[in-house]
């Protein structure tokens, strides 16, 4: 039956047929505009259309159609990614997976659950918490981000220090390959399937190798007890040393988070203030979980370390409400920057823990050099920094400055043997910075893998890897167009 559509575009008509109806496709400018970026807003581009498949078969049919008509396409979850992985820079057909949001199966005995990609991260924990189980990876956006997106980005979170990131919790995947073929890898969730670890390769491939349509994840038993400590320091370096000392003491905290002065100013001005003193230089939020009998010992040790490092005030959460308040304050930290700055750019460098004081100092210098404030909210325990460069895109030149500052922060991380991204992914944001950590051969080794999965490069092209030789040009162009977003950016393919 022909559908009533306000377009003559034959591709859109055909795609609408595949997803069975006008309510499952967007193609008008006003609707598409809401899809011109994800959580990375500096660069924007309009998609050709957005389709909302209901099941794997529809995804496969869409992909087959796109592949056979050479239409670029990409998958999108909640669109909370921070590196621009879901931005349609090639005027892609966006395959939105948010309507595939079933919790397919829970197997508590074998500690696994099967979800569709649009299932929201926190909902999984909420669905099993009554039985005493939870899903460990907890990106700050877990309230709204999808597990499909988590797989694409190999999302981390505050509690990854002890429990690992998404890839450590993925047991099986159903994937639609870029040619439309559906494959199942370890769908029963049995580890170490014979052959190369495609699960590991797909997880964190930022949606460039395939589209995940079903995910088997590991679920964990709730720890018997949790204790959370909040420590205020007058010197950033004291806080940093305390981090190292805690780890060196042989404690594996569930989380070890740090915020600096500007960050504290932000969260205190926003929706979930805790009442942190305004004049402290840094705070640590430390959580220990496990067997109740063993926790007090560790907390005692943590308190001692803090004291040794000149802590001004240190307290243990007295109840679940207090703990929840501390965490809400921390987890909404990025968004909270909106309260003190119109725009922010968040970076995601990782460094060896021992280099914390050195790198934080360097970031401080960068801030002074470019003349923009930089807040730091980060996972100190695993050395995963999040410098938040505060700027106002309405002021001419500030966006460019912010980008420059971001790059300089990443360079500082790479220079001490770190990485340019710990959990946000490269996307379009950090393509050029890939060169800080990989040489040409190493980048080629990775694109060779993409060629195996995605030979026509129609799926989410132009992400992660800088094009050989053209990268500088692209970066320049990107910076220019980031202000005038209507212009077409790149002619990848």
Partner 1 sequence: MVLKENDVKNEPACTTTSLSNYLWSDAPDENKWADCVHCGMCLEACPTYELTGQEQHSPRGRVHLIQSVAEGKLEVNEQFMDPVNQCLDCRACTTACPADVDVGGLIEEARGQIRQAMPLKGWKGMVSKLFLEELFPYPNRMNSFGGLLKFYQKSGVQNLVRKTRLINIMPSHLVEMEAVMPEIKVPVRKLFKNEEVIKAKGTEKGTVSFLTGCIMDVMFSDINESTINVLTHNGHNVSIPKKQTCCGALHVHAGDRETGRKLAKQNIEAFKDADKVIVNAAGCGCMLKDYPELFREDAEWKEKAEVFAAKVEDVSKYVHDNGYEKPKSEIKTRLTYHDACHLAHGQGIREEPRKILLDIPGVEMVHMPNSDRCCGSAGIYNITNPEMAGAVLERKMENVPDDVDMISMGNPGCMLQMAIGVEKYGRSQQVVHTIQLLDWAYKKDAEKEKSNKGGEK
Partner 2 sequence: MVVKEFISELRTAFPDVEMEQAQTNCDLGNNGYVHVYPKSEDEIVTILQYANEHGKKIVVQGNGSKKGFGGEKETADILLSLSKYKGIVEHGAGDMTVTVKSGTSFQELQEFLSEYKQQVSLDPSWPKYASIGGVIASNDSGPKRLGYGSARDAVIGLRIIYPDGTIIRSGGKVVKNVAGYDMNKMYIGSMGTLGVFTEVTLKLRPLPKKESVVLISFPEGSFEDIHAFAVKILDSMMEPVSLEFLNPSLAQKLIGKKQFTLAISFEDVESSVDYQVKMIQDMKPDQTTLSILLDNEELQSFWNQLYSISPNGVEGNLETKETEACLKVGVKNLSVLNVIRDGQMLQDSHNLVVTAHGGLGHGICQLNLKGAREDVASVITNLCQIVGRLKGYVIIKHAPLSLRQEINVWGDKPTYLFLMEGIKSKIDPNHVLNEKRFLGGI
Binding site for partner 1 (CB under 8 A): 23, 26, 28-31, 33-35, 37-39, 41, 50, 52, 78-80, 96, 98-99, 101, 118, 120, 141, 143-145, 270-272, 332-339, 342-344, 392, 394, 486
Taking the least distance from each CB to partner 1, the nearer of 98 and 251 is 98
- Contact with partner 2 (CB under 8 A) among 425, 432, 462, 490: 425
Taking the least distance from each CB to partner 2, the nearer of 425 and 462 is 425
In three-state form (DSSP H/G/I as H, E/B as E, the rest C), the secondary structure along 329-376 is HHHCHHHHHHHCCCEEEECECECCHHHHHHHHHHHHHHHHHHCCCEEE
Taking the least distance from each CB to partner 2, the nearer of 66 and 414 is 414
- Cβ contact 50:12 at 8 Å: no
Phi–psi pair at 269, nearest 5 degrees: -85, -10
**String of contacts with partner 2 for each residue 183-222, x by CB under 8 A:** xxx--xxxxxxxxxxxxxx-xxx---x-----------xx
Regarding 320 and contact with partner 2 (CB under 8 A), the answer is: no
Taking the least distance from each CB to partner 2, the nearer of 90 and 298 is 298
For partner 2, which stretch binds (CB under 8 A), given 4-12, 71-79, 306-314, 417-425?
Answer: 417-425
DSSP annotation string for 402-440 = HHHHHHHHHHHHHHTT-BSBSSS--TTTSTTTHHHH--H
Taking the least distance from each CB to partner 2, the nearer of 266 and 406 is 406
Q: Is 49 exposed, middle or buried (0-12, 13-18, 19+ CB in 10 A)?
A: buried
Binding-site partner at residue 197 among partner 2, partner 1, none, CB < 5 to 8 Å by type: partner 2
- Cβ contact 61:95 at 8 Å: no
Task: Report angle CA 107, 193, 101 to the nearest 5 degrees.
Answer: 40
**Helix axes of 236-248 and 356-370: crossing angle, nearest 10 degrees:** 150
Regarding 353 and contact with partner 2 (CB under 8 A), the answer is: yes
CA-closest candidate to residue 49, choices 84, 91, 5: 91
- Contact with partner 2 (CB under 8 A) among 103, 358, 393, 438: 438
Regarding 1 and contact with partner 2 (CB under 8 A), the answer is: no
For partner 2, which stretch binds (CB under 8 A), given 72-80, 289-297, 321-329, 365-373?
Answer: 289-297
Regarding 392 and contact with partner 2 (CB under 8 A), the answer is: no
Regarding 462 and contact with partner 2 (CB under 8 A), the answer is: no
- Cβ contact 66:87 at 8 Å: no
Question: Cα–Cα distance between 94 and 365 in angstroms, integer?
Answer: 40
Binding-site partner at residue 383 among partner 2, partner 1, none, CB < 5 to 8 Å by type: partner 2
- Contact with partner 2 (CB under 8 A) among 279, 297, 368, 392: 297
Question: Cα–Cα distance between 461 and 272 in angstroms, integer?
Answer: 39
- Closest distance of CB 133 from partner 2, Å: 9
CA-closest candidate to residue 243, choices 315, 306, 310, 327: 306
Q: Is 120 helix (H, G, I), strand (E, B) or coil?
A: strand
Residues with Cβ within 8 Å of 210's Cβ and at least 6 positions away in sequence, in order, are: 175, 176, 177, 178, 183, 202, 453, 454, 459
Phi–psi pair at 26, nearest 5 degrees: -120, 140
Residues with Cβ within 8 Å of 64's Cβ and at least 6 positions away in sequence, in order, are: 179, 180
Residues in the chain: 493
Regarding 352 and contact with partner 2 (CB under 8 A), the answer is: yes
- Contact with partner 2 (CB under 8 A) among 25, 418, 429, 461: 418
Taking the least distance from each CB to partner 1, the nearer of 50 and 171 is 50
Binding-site partner at residue 443 among partner 1, partner 2, none, CB < 5 to 8 Å by type: partner 2
- Closest distance of CB 30 from partner 2, Å: 34
According to CB under 8 A, which residues from 91 to 130 bind partner 2?
A: 107-111
Taking the least distance from each CB to partner 1, the nearer of 72 and 81 is 81
According to CB under 8 A, which residues from 149 to 168 bind partner 2?
A: 153-154, 156, 160, 164-165, 167-168
């Amino acid at each position: 039956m022909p559908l009533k559509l306000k377009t003559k575009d034959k591709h859109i008509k055909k795609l609408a047929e595949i997803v069975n109806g006008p309510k499952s496709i967007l193609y008008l400018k006003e609707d598409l505009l809401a899809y011109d970026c994800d959580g990375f807003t500096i660069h924007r581009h309009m998609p050709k259309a957005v389709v909302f498949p209901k099941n794997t078969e529809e995804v496969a049919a869409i992909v087959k159609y796109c592949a056979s008509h050479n239409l670029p396409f990409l998958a999108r979850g909640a669109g909370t990614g921070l590196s621009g992985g879901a931005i349609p820079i090639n005027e892609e057909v966006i395959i939105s997976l948010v309507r595939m949001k079933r919790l397919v199966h829970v197997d508590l005995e074998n500690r696994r659950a099967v979800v569709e990609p649009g299932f929201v991260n926190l909902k999984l924990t909420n669905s099993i918490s009554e039985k005493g189980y939870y899903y460990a990876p907890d990106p700050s956006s877990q309230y709204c981000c999808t597990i499909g997106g988590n797989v694409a980005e190999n999302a981390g979170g505050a509690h990854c220090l002890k429990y690992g990131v998404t890839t450590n919790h993925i047991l099986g995947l159903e994937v639609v390959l870029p040619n439309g073929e559906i494959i199942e890898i370890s769908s029963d969730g049995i580890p170490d399937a014979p052959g190369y670890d495609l699960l590991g390769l797909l997880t964190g491939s930022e949606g460039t190798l395939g589209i995940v349509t079903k995910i088997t994840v590991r679920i964990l038993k709730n720890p018997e007890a949790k204790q959370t400590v909040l420590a205020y320091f007058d010197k950033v370096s004291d806080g940093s040393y305390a981090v190292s000392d805690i780890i060196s003491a042989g404690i594996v905290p569930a989380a070890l988070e740090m915020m600096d002065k500007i960050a504290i100013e932000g969260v205190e001005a926003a929706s979930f203030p805790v009442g942190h003193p305004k004049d402290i230089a840094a705070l640590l939020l430390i959580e220990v979980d496990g067997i109740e009998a063993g926790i007090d010992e560790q907390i005692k040790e943590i308190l001692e370390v803090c004291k040794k490092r000149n802590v001004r005030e240190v307290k243990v959460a007295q109840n679940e409400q207090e703990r929840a308040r501390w965490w809400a304050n921390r987890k909404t930290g990025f968004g909270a920057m909106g309260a003190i700055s119109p725009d922010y750019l968040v970076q995601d460098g990782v460094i060896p823990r021992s280099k914390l004081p050195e790198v934080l100092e360097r970031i401080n210098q960068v801030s002074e050099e470019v003349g923009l404030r930089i807040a730091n909210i980060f996972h100190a325990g695993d050395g995963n920094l999040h410098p938040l460069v505060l700027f106002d895109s309405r002021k001419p030149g500030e966006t460019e400055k912010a980008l420059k500052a971001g790059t300089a922060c990443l360079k500082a991380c790479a220079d001490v043997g770190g990485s340019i991204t710990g959990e946000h992914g490269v996307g379009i944001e950090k393509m050029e910075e890939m060169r800080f950590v990989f040489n040409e051969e190493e980048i080629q080794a990775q694109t060779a893998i993409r060629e195996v999965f995605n030979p026509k490069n129609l799926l989410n092209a132009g992400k992660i890897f800088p094009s050989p030789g053209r990268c500088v040009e692209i970066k320049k162009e990107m910076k220019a167009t980031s202000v005038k977003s209507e212009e077409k950016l790149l002619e990848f393919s």
